[in-house]
Structure 1
Amino acid sequence: MELRTTIARWQRLLEGRSFSVVAGVVGLLLVGDLARRLTSGDLAAAQLLSYLWDGLVFGLGLGLAGIGLSMTYSILNFANFSHGDYLTAGAFSGWSATWLLAGVGTGVGSIELLLIDAGVSTNVLNISVFAAPLQILGGLVAAAVMTVLLSLALDRVVYRPMRDEEGISLLIASIGVALALRYTLVLFYNTDSRGLTAGDATFRVPVGLGSLTITAHQLTLVIVAVALMLGVHLLLQRSKLGKAMRAMADNEDLARVTGIPTERVVRYTWIIGGGLAGAAGFLLALERGNMVFSFGWRLLLPVFAAVILGGIGSIYGAMFGGIAIGIARSVSSIWIPNEFALVASFTLMILVLLFKPSGLFKGRTTA
């Protein structure tokens, strides 16, 4: 009898506005502990702001990458497990272009510039946002363009012939595509981690008795990511293509009957999603200063977590979910070791799924 009563209580807890209540209680407890640590001197205000800033930077990268994944699910109705390797392809192609542009007139060999030799010193070309801004801009454009071309080619060869198949078939196909992409990159770039930039300018913002350190590459990621997200918002809300995308996400059959060119919408979905994935991969590599062939694969789970947290299929959910996962991952270091920081992000995702299975933005909503 007591067991049934307990189960009934938990069922009532999980219904209605329980998520808001639980989230509020947990949030108050964490804020209270933070206030205690700040007033007692266990945690400096500058250190807390540093955690928040690092989380925001990483979260914006995840959110930018998650937009394409969310669009693919919303319009094509399958989870694209090769999306992480789109980030890797964008990062490698973009940085190859950056090094080639930076090496013009320097006499450095093209094989070194293409990063085939991971032992090449990053100081050879002195690449950074301030030292080589045009080369980095060229690399960013190249990363987006090459990933768009890759996305369109893979859609034509793999996904388009399977368009009418069940989602599980497309999911399995995307895993095969991911493996093929990853080890194709290994053929050209091997498995070594390689440095990309020669240092980074830093800015110090005074905070109380300490200071918050912001790097130029972090600032670049934040500015570009926010600008691209704003561009996606304007596209979805104010263009005919955005309206067509929203209509197709809501009801593909009805969109086709009303004359919307669904295949063209699918093509633009790959273009936008691929371009954003390539840009995100390039910017995250810029902020980190290095990359490896499994770079995007390691980011795939956090990107999925961000998309699921916000509501899979929701563009705005992907943006917000990325920031939430990034900040949770960073701020959790106050309470748990850094090695387990990502666990906090997934715990947050699991809690949201338990109390609000459709995600914070209810999912399946392109805009």
Structure 2
Amino acid sequence: MGISESLSSRRQLSGGLSGASVVAAALVYLVADLIVKLTGTTVLAFGFRVIGGSLTVGSLLSMVVDGLLVGLAVGLAGIGLSMTYSILDFANFAHGDTVTVGAFLGWVAAYTVAGLGSGAAFADLFLFDTDQQLSVVSAFAPVVVGLVVAGAGTVGVVLVVDRLTYRPMRGSDNISLLIASIGVALALRYLIAFVFGTQTSGVASSGARFQVIPGLSVTDNEIALLVVSVTLMLGVHLLLQRTKLGKAMRAMADNEDLARVTGIPAERVVRLTWILGGALAGIGGFLLVLESGTISFNFGWILLLLIFAAVIVGGIGSIYGAMAGGVLIGLVDSLALIWLPSGLSRAAAFAVLIAVLLLRPSGLFGGVSTA
């Protein structure tokens, strides 16, 4: 090894150690502060709070559950974004608005089914202009129908978009596809705004609350989000590892040219990638609205930043990374409220993104890989 290479190696090592030291110190302080807060103790220095405060165990557990639920939905939506990158090799900026499309399609279907026989006008049901708010307990069948329509309807939308926009550009460079995806995002977002308006609508509320342990309770909608998300993630795992389609998708992600030479039908894999990614995005959007209770024309665009953060933290191109990254980002976004105002909690999620990139630039699951 030459002198210049040795010096470069040492600089990289010292930089990595320095970054790791800063992250480790921050984690130690936050954990210590959290423990002191749980005891209800405050340590002051020169009139300023150095560590501690007040936080109940019940509040902490509620934040953990909220973060886990949001993280699961974000991870579910992130799977499609990660698949698009690994197989089609471009960052799809329309993915957030695809989530919005799925949510609106699903909730329109749910309200329409729930309103059958009630005498309510279809236009009122279509625009959520009723006093009724749905939940899993109070409207199980409509919510299930909405969930299915959210997935199936989004699949139809992404296939049309692919046929009209992305397929003719399949041989173009990544920047061209990225710019095209931004155009698709704007078209979808403002089409939704034109049809449904720009107001935020309340569409879901909890129908029942169940106490898990003293100080911690969950709603029927939150249980539904947990069960559906975990089931779908397990299904994606089995698809990737146990089916020919999953093997073909992993082969396309690893080496597209070699996959084509070995006879893998590339266009069919691409189409199935859109189908799977679109379905998961639509269902993820529907579940997020089910948990939050509100829907708006741009919520998917705002959510896109968290989805990208989850995918990058997990390792862009890795489906398992998207799942793990979603849960991590969701937990950080929720737990940040212990230290930050609600308007700044997203900053904590991106701070974690920066920390992960400093310590492991390829992400937690490292490298471009479908699995």
Q: Normalising by structure 1, report the TM-score.
A: 0.92
Among residues 205, 226, 232, which one is paired with 1:228 in the alignment? Answer: 232
Instruction: Write the deviation string for residues 267-324 of structure 1: whole angstroms up to 9, x where unpaired.
Output: 0000000000000010001111110111111101110000011010000110011111
Answer yes or no: is 1:194 the counterpart of 2:201: yes
Identity %: 55
Whether 1:141 and 2:142 are equivalent positions in the alignment is: no
- 3-state SS in 2 of match to 1:213: strand
1:357 Cα deviation (Å)?
1.2
Q: Which amino acid aligns with 1:277?
A: A
SS at match of 1:122: coil
Equivalent residues of 1:14, 1:355 under 8 A apart: no
Which residue does the alignment assign to 1:67? 79
SS in 2 for 1:203: strand
Structure 1, unaligned runs of 5 or more: 1-6
Report how many aligned residue pairs link the two structures: 353
Partner of 1:240: 244
For 1:184 and 1:10, the matched residues in 2 are separated by 51
Residue of structure 1 in register with 2:56 after alignment: 44
Which residue of structure 1 lines up, in the alignment, with residue 287 of structure 2?
283
Q: Give distance in 2, aligned partners of 1:275 and 1:93.
A: 12
- Going from structure 1 to structure 2, the CA distance change for 1:187 and 1:162 (only over 3 Å counts) comes to same
Is the 1:103–1:113 Cα contact (8 Å) retained in structure 2? yes
Contact 2:23 2:355 (C-alpha < 8 Å) held by counterparts: no
**Corresponding residue for 1:319?**
323
Aligned to 1:348: 352
Report whether the alignment pairs 1:127 with 2:131: no
Distance, in Å, in 2 between the alignment partners of 1:20 and 1:141 is 45
Amino acid at match of 2:30: L
Match of 1:110 in 2: 122
Check the 8 A contact 1:313/1:363 in 2, yes or no. Answer: yes
User: Secondary structure of the residue that 1:365 maps to in structure 2?
Assistant: coil
1:11 positional shift: 3.3
Separation in 2, partners of 1:180, 1:39: 52
**Compared CA separation, residues 55 and 145, structure 1 to 2 (3 A):** same
Shift of residue 18, structure 1, vs aligned partner: 7.3
Change (3 A) 1:313 1:175: same
Q: TM-score, normalised by structure 2?
A: 0.91
- 1:198, CA displacement in angstroms? 4.7
Q: Deviations over 1:3-53 (max 9, x none)?
A: xxxx997632334x7776665544333222222222236221111111111
Q: Give the residue type in structure 2 aligned to 1:167.
A: N
Bigger shift: 313-322 or 334-343? Answer: 334-343
Matches of 2:197 and 2:96, distance apart in 1: 18
Q: How many angstroms does 1:138 deviate by?
A: 0.4
**Distance in 2, Cα, partners of 1:299 & 1:223:** 21
> In the TM superposition, what is the alpha-carbon distance from 1:330 to its structure 2 partner?
0.9
Distance in 1 between the 2:356 and 2:205 partners?
A: 41
2:363 match: 359
| SS class of match (2:213) | strand
Q: Which moved more, 1:230-239 or 1:126-135?
A: 126-135
**Cα distance in structure 2, aligned partners of 1:19 and 1:74:** 29
Q: Aligned equivalents of 1:90 and 1:122: distance in 2?
A: 23
Cα distance in 1 between the residues matched to 2:205 and 2:74: 24
Which residue identity lines up with residue 273 of structure 2 in the other structure? T
Q: What are the equivalent positions in structure 2 for 1:135-174 lying under 5 Å apart?
A: 135-174=142-181
Cα RMSD for the two superposed structures: 1.9
